[in-house]
Chain A
Amino acid sequence: MIRFEHVTKRFGAKTVLDDACFHIQRGETFVIVGQSGAGKSVSLRHMIRLHIPDAGKVWVGDDCISEASGKVLSRCLDRFGVLFQSGALLQWLNVEDNVCLPLRQRTKLPDAEIRARAREKLEMVGLADAGAKFPDSISGGMRKRVGLARAIVTGPEIVLYDEPTSGLDPVISRQIDLLIDRLRRKLGVTSVVVTHDLYSALRIGTRVAMLDHGRFAVCAPPAEFVQSENPVVQRFLRAQGIANLGDVEKAFEHETENNPD
């Protein structure tokens, strides 16, 4: 679905991605973890052409998005929904209008239909009653959920999440994790999540990749990831107090039981 072929990216003298290669399969939740400044968000931005590699190629399906323009680029971007770190909501539009925006600007659907779809997505993210509120009057967690509703309102095949739980308390973080997992199960979307929160990564990821010094040090399913002997992974696991998957899975199962949707 998404393929990085020997992607190298430099910002001045700093090499952020160094010959990075990976392949994301359809329907999986691929989580990229790593320290701050490791190049996680840069990887994500390459997938939607907000960055262009200095060397290598980024493929989305059969299209090379890193070299695309015009209709091909449009076709590639149509496949994505993106949740930006800050939510990136337009401040002068209320929550519902923010969610309606992509449909209003890019389709000829009647307004009633657009509003119905927006409300459906807002309900899905648990914000059915927040449509009339403005972004500056809602919490950070709500903003992210609105951003998520906007990202999925066009029915994308792939949803990218840039630090979906950063700056949120553990309860809200868990709700966001559940939401990402629910979207994968209900809508079958392919998800790519960038985070430094290993709890979150191990809860929702079908594969977890550790980015270190511009390269993917480990890329494995959660169970294998926690058993990796890679020193960077081990340091990361220790720093977040994770010895095995047991506690993470228990917490996740507990939440899933309480929120079966």
Chain B
Amino acid sequence: MVGPMITREPEFLPPPANAFASMGRPVIQACRDTGRALVMLLGAIANLPHVFSKRNRGDVVQQLWQVGLKSLGVVSVVALFTGMILALQVGLELRRYGQENNIGMLVCISMLREMGPFMTGLVIAASVGSAIAAQMGTMTVSEEIAALDVMGIDPLRYLMMPRLAALAIMMPLLTVYTNLLGILGGALVGLTQLGISYEAYFDNAFRYAENKDLYVGLFKAFLFGLIIVDVACYQGFTATEGAVGVGRATRRTVIISFLLILIIGYFVTRLFYQ
């Protein structure tokens, strides 16, 4: 069964009639792109029941490896230094008021609620998202996506779904890892720069953090995973004009993912923390 073909014809719009029309066109284009990207996301989600089928199992495992384990190095560095910077900045300020003992709580809650999913999202958007966009874009301009379409192989199932599953699984796991390393980085700074023992730091950290902080953070990470894959695949599948188009798709993927991670992160926070 062939789904709607992903390969699209190039669009040729007539020149805008006036200045008002030329201002409105990018808005209309953005709305169109958003709608199409959402339809694609739904198409890939609809294929998720096949995630461990014989046809897709290998690809999913390979993507889990690519997204998860190959990103561990950079995620580790970013997570550790995020926690260290947080602890240092907050600790130095709190010390003026004699409150440096509370850095454990501040670092822990910041990491769980915001910085963990946010920093993981940025790192994965820049590394994995851009790689997905470049791969899909190259496949599009070299007619590999068209070939899949014509062979009756749905690119949403064959290419997008395994990446979606991998990021939906790995983003929360990587965020847990980021949180742990960030909190540990804060403890290191607490001990070496602020003279706070590990016991005092962790006691303070876990006394105030709630399960909800962890769950909301992981929910954000899950959403960020979906956003990154959707943006990257959409930009890749709609790439045109050869190498220039692939570069453009990659750049757009990183920019749009960053913006959406910021904006959607804010609204999720508002939703859960009134």
User: Measuring CB to CB, which residues of chain A are less than 8 angstroms from any residue of chain B?
Assistant: 10-12, 48-52, 69-71, 73-74, 77-78, 80, 82, 84-86, 88-90, 101-102, 104-106, 150, 154
A31–B55 CA distance with the chains assembled, in angstroms: 37
Binds A, one of B7-15, B166-174, B183-191, B252-260: B7-15
Sample of 18 A–B contacts (CB below 8 Å): A10-B12, A11-B12, A48-B150, A49-B5, A50-B9, A51-B9, A74-B2, A74-B152, A77-B150, A78-B152, A80-B150, A84-B143, A88-B147, A90-B139, A101-B151, A101-B153, A102-B152, A105-B152
Residues A70 and B144 in contact, CB atoms below 8 Å apart? no
A86–B5 CA distance with the chains assembled, in angstroms: 20
Most buried by A among B2, B5, B144, B158: B2
Q: Mark B135-156, 1 if CB is under 8 A from A, else 0.
A: 0000100111011011111000
Residues A70 and B151 in contact, CB atoms below 8 Å apart? no
Which residues of chain B from 93 to 152 have a CB within 8 Å of any chain A CB? 139, 142-144, 146-147, 149-152
Q: A78-B152, A101-B153 are in contact. Are A89 and B144 (CB under 8 A)?
A: yes
Tell me, rounded to whole Å, the shortest Cβ–Cβ distance linking B228 to chain A: 21
A52–B7 CA distance with the chains assembled, in angstroms: 12
Residues A88 and B144 in contact, CB atoms below 8 Å apart? yes
Residues A52 and B1 in contact, CB atoms below 8 Å apart? no
Q: Which of A70, A89, A154 contacts B1, CB < 8 Å?
A: A70
A73–B139 CA distance with the chains assembled, in angstroms: 23
B contact residues around A69 at 8 Å (CB):
4
A48–B158 CA distance with the chains assembled, in angstroms: 20
Residues B144 and A106 in contact, CB atoms below 8 Å apart? no
Smallest CB gap from A85: residue in B: B143
Tell me, rounded to whole Å, the shortest Cβ–Cβ distance linking A156 to chain B: 10
Tell me, rounded to whole Å, the shortest Cβ–Cβ distance linking B67 to chain A: 16
Q: Mark B1-38, 1 if CB is under 8 A from A, else 0.
A: 11011010110100000000000000000000000000
Q: Which of B7, B12, B139, B153 contacts A102, CB < 8 Å?
A: B153
Q: Which of A11, A50, A73 contacts B146, CB < 8 Å?
A: A50
Q: A73-B2, A74-B2 are in contact. Are A105 and B144 (CB under 8 A)?
A: no
B contact residues around A106 at 8 Å (CB):
151-153
User: Measuring CB to CB, which residues of chain B are less than 8 angstroms from any residue of chain A?
Assistant: 1-2, 4-5, 7, 9-10, 12, 55, 139, 142-144, 146-147, 149-153, 158
Most buried by A among B7, B143, B146, B147: B147
Known: A85-B143, A90-B139. 14 other contacts (CB 8 A): A12-B12, A50-B7, A50-B146, A50-B149, A52-B9, A77-B2, A84-B143, A88-B142, A88-B144, A88-B146, A102-B153, A105-B55, A105-B158, A106-B153
Q: Which of B2, B10, B147, B153 contacts A70, CB < 8 Å?
A: B2
A115–B2 CA distance with the chains assembled, in angstroms: 24
Tell me, rounded to whole Å, the shortest Cβ–Cβ distance linking A71 to chain B: 7
Tell me, rounded to whole Å, the shortest Cβ–Cβ distance linking A75 to chain B: 9
A229–B227 CA distance with the chains assembled, in angstroms: 60
Residues A71 and B9 in contact, CB atoms below 8 Å apart? no
B contact residues around A74 at 8 Å (CB):
1-2, 152
A contact residues around B158 at 8 Å (CB):
105
Residues A105 and B153 in contact, CB atoms below 8 Å apart? yes
A197–B152 CA distance with the chains assembled, in angstroms: 30
Residues A84 and B7 in contact, CB atoms below 8 Å apart? no
A11–B142 CA distance with the chains assembled, in angstroms: 20
Tell me, rounded to whole Å, the shortest Cβ–Cβ distance linking B63 to chain A: 12
Residues A11 and B10 in contact, CB atoms below 8 Å apart? yes
A106–B5 CA distance with the chains assembled, in angstroms: 16
A contact residues around B2 at 8 Å (CB):
70, 73-74, 77
Residues A71 and B1 in contact, CB atoms below 8 Å apart? yes
Residues A50 and B144 in contact, CB atoms below 8 Å apart? no
A70–B5 CA distance with the chains assembled, in angstroms: 10
Residues A82 and B150 in contact, CB atoms below 8 Å apart? yes
